[in-house]
A and B are shown apart, each in its own frame.
Chain A
């Protein structure tokens, strides 16, 4: 278990991390999410005692990092894949880490095997690809067989096979009852691995919830309708006092109302439906809404805001598209 209390970090005038309080619990994968520059890496460095907090406290199983005897046996971290001497072989890199924490040599051989680097164990790390470097970093994190694991952007720059491997590794580690804390700036990545979410933006805590609660609270859910008798369906919905939006391509979207209610209504009026489906906006959309105000570096595009990815880009000048965007924004605000 990792507990943060009022964790704050200033760099001169700039506030990198502001008063973060949350707990990382065992047995689950906790995703640590935020746009670039949100303070994720700074927070993780403070957790490991590498950076000194300006205020506040981090405790690992109730202790400060520096108080841990042989810390690699408590907590294993992958901060930066290139945080190693390139001239040293993979085996020696792990060996010097193992020796500093009284971990036997046999364990070095074991973790090399776990991450699949045994064939290149005697090769210098500078010849490694990004993916191999990442694997070596992960081997270092696993070395002490720790109860807590921490990964900073582990899938960055990896090929699909590597990404898949890391996802499964994290899940199996959490499945063994370990605490897994993983940062990312990609919501889609978190959706596949994390059970719990901590979201920060510009150093502030924005959310600390389970993945499903997060989606519910932060995303828009609606029902999509398609009917060959669209005009009549619109009238019926208006009469029933249901607000409806024409989303283009002959689809209608209803924010309030369940699919059951809408289906019954259509049946009562003998209307044919080609589609009646509950929709949930993707996590990416929820994340964008949440961090919209706290993104440090905005890229300016001609598009106003972010189009919800659940919909295909509609043809230009399509009615209702702008409307839909507006509504999304209002809900998010």
Chain B
């Protein structure tokens, strides 16, 4: 069966290049380390907080704080998986071997997604447990309402970030261009749009802002976000589908 062959081939491709190991490794290490660090800082800060902040205190979400940095490595992973084909010229060899471009692209995305999910989920659980361990008395338990959802959601969030990057990379082809747009967007622009009151209403529909809602357990007091955790993740999924769809359409009609 052709699809199985393509999946097997893409697995060989992804496991045989060094960038897979260091991007995913970096994503895990950054997310966990920064999460632990911020958890320590938050525990020390708790006593200085006012009542309002204490009510909004979300130990689960705090242990995921490292994702703001870890997601950048996930973006690099997603971009490189796709754009390596273009930057090396491998794309012509690949498409000569698999002329069904849809099968080729979605086979590649499927393999990379599974890998990103495994790494993302493991990262999310480790970040949670280590984070809670250092939060001490303020910690959340995995059995608390919404916590397990948030932890699994952390893995899903990282996976979707990688998928969105794959879609964008297949539209833009060049790794430099794709990274040059995605990195500043997710690290700076999205945060600015989401925190400035004038643009907040639009900003929260961006993929990362909407998707990260899944990792929240305690809703901030004055929160007026019009979607819940799964709704937010749904918005992110729509972004991912759009990016991959346009990536596919362009791959389909473009000359390789």
Contacts and interface: CB of A to CB of B under 8 A. Distances in A.
A59 to B, nearest CB: 14
A72 interface: yes
A97 interface: yes
A97 B16 contact: no
B56 interface: no
Contact of B95 (A49, A70, A102): A49
Nearest to B20: A87
A282 B118 CA distance: 65
Nearest to B7: A99
A88 B16 contact: yes
A48 B5 CA distance: 20
A100 B5 contact: yes
Nearest to B256: A50
B251 to A, nearest CB: 12
A118 interface: no
Interface string B79-109: 0000011001111111111111000000000
B18 interface: yes
Contact of B18 (A68, A77, A87): A87
Given A52-B255, A82-B89, A83-B90, A88 B99 contact: no
Contacts of B255: 45, 50-52
Nearest to A46: B255
Contacts of B98: 100
Interface string B161-204: 00000000000000000000000000000000000000000000
B97 A72 contact: yes
A251 interface: no
A32 B9 CA distance: 32
B92 A79 contact: yes
A100 B6 contact: yes
A97 B17 contact: no
B2 interface: yes
A99 B12 contact: yes
A39 interface: no
A233 to B, nearest CB: 61
Consensus secondary structure, chain A interface: loop
A215 B90 CA distance: 39
B243 to A, nearest CB: 23
Nearest to A94: B12
Interface in B32-55: none
Interface string B102-144: 0000000000000000000000000000000000000000000
A85 interface: yes
A85 B92 CA distance: 11
B93 A140 contact: yes
A71 B92 contact: no
Interface string B12-28: 11001111000000000
B89 A65 contact: no
Interface string A182-219: 00000000000000000000000000000000000000
A50 B92 contact: yes
Contacts of A332: none
Contact of B89 (A83, A96, A97): A83
Contacts of A99: 5, 8-9, 12
B159 to A, nearest CB: 23
Given A84-B90, A99-B9, A71 B253 contact: no
15 contacts: A48-B99, A49-B96, A50-B95, A72-B97, A79-B92, A83-B89, A83-B92, A83-B93, A85-B13, A85-B85, A88-B16, A92-B12, A96-B16, A100-B94, A140-B93
Interface of A: 45, 48-52, 65-66, 68-72, 77, 79-80, 82-89, 92, 95-97, 99-102, 140
Interface of B: 2, 5-6, 8-10, 12-13, 16-19, 84-85, 88-100, 253, 255-256
